[in-house]
Amino acid sequence: MLVTNKNRLIEMLGAALQGLAQERNLGDAPPPRLERPKAVDHGDVACNIALQLSKAWKLNPRELAQALVERLEQQPGYGDLIASCEIAGPGFINFRLTNAAKTAVVQEVLTAGAQFGQLPSDAAPVSSAMIEFVSANPTGPLHVGHGRQAALGDALANLLATQGIKVHREFYYNDAGVQIANLALSVQARLNGLKPGDAAWPESAYNGEYIAEIATAFKASVEYKDDLEAIRQFAVAYLRNEQDIDLKTFGVKFDCYYLESSLYTDGSVAKIVEELQSIGKTYESEGALWLKTTDDGDDKDRVMRKSDGSFTYFVPDVAYHTSKWNRGFEKVINVQGSDHHGTIARVRSGLQGVAQKRGWDIPKTYPDYVLHKMVTVMRHGEEVKISKRAGSYVTVRDLVEWSGGFTPEMTADEREHALQRGRDAVRFFLISRKADTEFVFDVDLALQQNDENPVFYVQYAHARICSILTQWGGQVSDLKGADLSLLQSKVSDHLLRRLVEYPEMLTDAAADLAPHSLAFYLRDLAGDFHTFYNADRVLVDDPALKLARLALLSATRQVLDNGLRVLGVSAPAKM
């Protein structure tokens, strides 16, 4: 039911409960909660408050439910909202809404348009939030794991924005450390004429063809000289640009690119270590500096500074998250691979030490994490383990091009359309499962244009409605005057119920950091539409009935468009 209708019914139930409690001196009652019955035949909405209170109030739950219903029926506006209610089972109260209450969602969608389902900023649970995602080392092209992060992080950012939250997207570049040193050595080896497999090829070097591309570009640059630092700087800049191109192809933009190296150059890492030492959060052992992470629930203490004087990788992470808090982001979400699970306790422990030193009130669960599992890519019925370009993994660019049927021989327009199809498929597929489940990406399925392809199924529903509206030829604004009382079939009722769920689904998905819920919802909405379309002809001879059904379809099209936009997927008018 619409949020406004839901709130009205909760207010009525609350008033009825309060009146009954006062009359019988029964004590306080919790706020009543409403839920959707699993079986449609049980009504539109249900409440189990009688079962909750029966023991405390020492009343039979069915008798309590009956008394509550009798009081509820006396509430002003009851008849406008509720057509009937019945007591079921041990004490459930099942409500059936009036036709006017159920169809009100159509006009609400048509009026709100692209804003339907969104909360204003003054209703936001927090004013602002930062989402850090992708954060790939600039040591190679983006792989499919980064693609899953990009899809999840961007959709999550859009999802939080629907709740009135100002969202900041950030990419953290790990441009310092051993991996960057290995990158420079790899390029230097290529410059010296070596290649993977040669006896003198460095064991820790990267083997992808992109290393040769960097070496060729460096040799052609005015900066060319056999200097490892110059090679490092060039290679990092080259790969950052390559990653930016991939992200642009994927339709992802960031508000800030934060460099790990800056945490060393501005003294942040050294300052954090000094502060943690000053409050007794560390100790020396075996020539290393240890952080007392067991004080904060970790299974063992962790090394911060190794015996050779270098810092372990989580130390700059503590400095980085100190920066996040210091910049005013009280809500921070990190989207990372599940291999980062071990760093969570260490980062949070370090932050608690910083908070103690600086007098900050950082929650112990700060930051939040969305950890995703691996993606397996299948193509032509076989698992794809490597790409020629990357050498050891499938890149995001590969996946987008394969999923869109992209070929270099296409015209410019054909290439753009292929990349759009590929981007839509990759985004939708990678969001369509819970992040903490492993995912098999089937390229062959992404290329299919039938009901088995979930993104095609949803997009086709949108395109089909656009086609019907075009065939009608009228103005959508005329649909606001439609007589919606004519929508009385079971299939239209299912579609109305699904539309009503959209705002609350967004709120729940945002609170649970679960963008996959939106993908599930859109598939269900598309299914309800296709069922309606096959059962109830829309462009009928009866003008009033035609307008009512067109209004319902126009509202459905709008919600499909809104939801796809949150996922970062296009809503084509033609397919």
Residue 418 falls inside a structural domain: yes
Express each pLDDT in 176-232 by its tens digit.
888 899 999 999 999 999 999 999 999 999 988 999 999 999 999 876 677 899 999
Distance, CA of 341 to CA of 252 (rounded, Å): 25
* 465/506 same-domain check: yes
Q: Decide if pLDDT at 567 tops 90.
A: yes
Residue 483 falls inside a structural domain: yes
Tell the residue number behind the tokens 């089909």, with chain if given.
Answer: 464
* 469/396 same-domain check: no
Distance, CA of 421 to CA of 200 (rounded, Å): 44
What token pair was written down for 542? Answer: 């009866």
Q: Decide if pLDDT at 23 tops 90.
A: no
For 6, counting Cβ atoms within 10 Å of its Cβ (0-12 exposed, 13-18 middle, 19+ buried), the class is middle
How many domains are contained in the chain? 3
Share of the chain above pLDDT 70, in %: 98
What pLDDT is stored for residue 126 in this prediction? 92
Edge-to-edge strand order for the sheet containing 302-305? 282-285, 288-291, 302-305
What pLDDT is stored for residue 61 in this prediction? 93
Pairing of strands 375-379, 382-384: antiparallel
Q: Nearest CA to 205 among 288, 291, 140?
A: 140
* 417/470 same-domain check: no
What pLDDT is stored for residue 275 in this prediction? 98
* 519/432 same-domain check: no
**Residue 426 — very low, low, confident or very high, per pLDDT cuts 50/70/90?**
very high
CA atoms within 13 A on the CB side of 433: 17
* 14/71 same-domain check: yes
**Residue 397 — very low, low, confident or very high, per pLDDT cuts 50/70/90?**
very high
What pLDDT is stored for residue 386 in this prediction? 74
Residue 87 falls inside a structural domain: yes
Which has the higher per-residue pLDDT, 407 or 24? 407
Query: Which distant-in-sequence residues (6+ apart) come within 8 Å of 456 by Cβ?
Result: 448, 449, 450, 575
What pLDDT is stored for residue 193 in this prediction? 94
Q: Decide if pLDDT at 26 tops 90.
A: no
Query: Which distant-in-sequence residues (6+ apart) come within 8 Å of 551 by Cβ?
Result: 106, 107, 110, 479, 480, 482, 484
For 512, counting Cβ atoms within 10 Å of its Cβ (0-12 exposed, 13-18 middle, 19+ buried), the class is exposed
* 471/482 same-domain check: yes
Q: Decide if pLDDT at 236 tops 70.
A: yes
Q: Decide if pLDDT at 554 tops 80.
A: yes
* 470/544 same-domain check: yes
What pLDDT is stored for residue 221 in this prediction? 85
What pLDDT is stored for residue 183 in this prediction? 95
Express each pLDDT in 488-502 by its tens digit.
999 999 999 999 999
* 508/556 same-domain check: yes
What pLDDT is stored for residue 39 in this prediction? 78
Distance, CA of 556 to CA of 497 (rounded, Å): 11
CA 222 to chain centre: 43
Which one of 447, 476, 506 terminates a domain? Answer: 447
Q: Nearest CA to 130 among 409, 307, 342, 324?
A: 324
Express each pLDDT in 133-173 by its tens digit.
999 999 999 999 999 999 999 999 999 999 999 999 999 99
What token pair was written down for 52? Answer: 């909750």
Q: Are 155 and 515 in contact (CB under 8 A)?
A: yes
What pLDDT is stored for residue 385 in this prediction? 83
Mean pLDDT over residues 380-387, rounded?
Answer: 87
Dihedral sign of CA atoms 556, 559, 565, 566 in order: negative
| Coil vs helix vs strand at 496 | helix
Edge-to-edge strand order for the sheet containing 34-35? 34-35, 45-47, 92-97, 82-88
Q: How far apart are the first and last CA of the chain?
A: 32
Distance, CA of 266 to CA of 272 (rounded, Å): 12
Distance, CA of 336 to CA of 339 (rounded, Å): 8
At how many degrees (to 10) do helices 3-24 and 490-511 cross? 80
Tally DSSP H helices, then E strands, for the chain: 20, 15
SS3 readout for 500-552: HHHHHHHHHHHHCCCCHHHHHHHHHHHHHHHHHHHHCCCCCCCHHHHHHHHHH
Express each pLDDT in 51-96 by its tens digit.
999 888 988 999 999 999 999 998 888 999 999 999 999 999 999 9
Residue 39 falls inside a structural domain: yes
Which one of 62, 79, 97 terminates a domain? Answer: 97
Residue 218 falls inside a structural domain: no
Give, as one character, the DSSP assignment of residue 75. Answer: S
Mean pLDDT over residues 114-121, rounded?
Answer: 96
What token pair was written down for 130? Answer: 């930062």
Express each pLDDT in 473-531 by its tens digit.
999 889 989 999 999 999 999 999 999 999 999 999 999 999 999 999 999 999 999 99
* 476/536 same-domain check: yes
Residue 299 falls inside a structural domain: no
What token pair was written down for 66? Answer: 């009956």
Edge-to-edge strand order for the sheet containing 368-372? 256-259, 166-173, 128-132, 332-337, 368-372
Q: Are 266 and 322 in contact (CB under 8 A)?
A: no
Neighbours of 223 (CB within 10 A): 11
* 484/429 same-domain check: no
Give, as one character, the DSSP assignment of residue 300. Answer: S
Radius of gyration of the chain (CA): 29
Residue 254 falls inside a structural domain: no
Whether the bond between 367 and the residue before it is cis, its omega within 30 degrees of 0, is yes
* 490/380 same-domain check: no
* 458/544 same-domain check: yes
Q: Decide if pLDDT at 324 tops 60.
A: yes
Q: List the beta strands (DSSP E) in 54-185.
A: 82-88, 92-97, 128-132, 166-173
What pLDDT is stored for residue 390 in this prediction? 63
Average pLDDT, the chain: 94
Residue 164 falls inside a structural domain: no
User: CA-CA distances (angstroms) from residue 286 to 5, 191, 486?
Assistant: 66, 40, 80
Which one of 414, 447, 480 terminates a domain? Answer: 447
Q: Decide if pLDDT at 3 tops 80.
A: no
Domain that holds residue 440: 376-447
| Coil vs helix vs strand at 132 | strand
At how many degrees (to 10) do helices 543-567 and 412-431 cross? 80
Give, as one character, the DSSP assignment of residue 187. Answer: H
Label residue 452 left, alpha or beta by phi (over 0 means left) and psi (-120 to 50 means alpha): alpha
Tell the residue number behind the tokens 């009525």, with chain if given.
Answer: 12
- Residue type (1 letter), 207: N
**Residue 321 — very low, low, confident or very high, per pLDDT cuts 50/70/90?**
very high
Label residue 425 left, alpha or beta by phi (over 0 means left) and psi (-120 to 50 means alpha): alpha
Q: Decide if pLDDT at 1 tops 60.
A: no
What token pair was written down for 506? Answer: 């967004």
Q: Nearest CA to 324 among 391, 272, 246?
A: 272
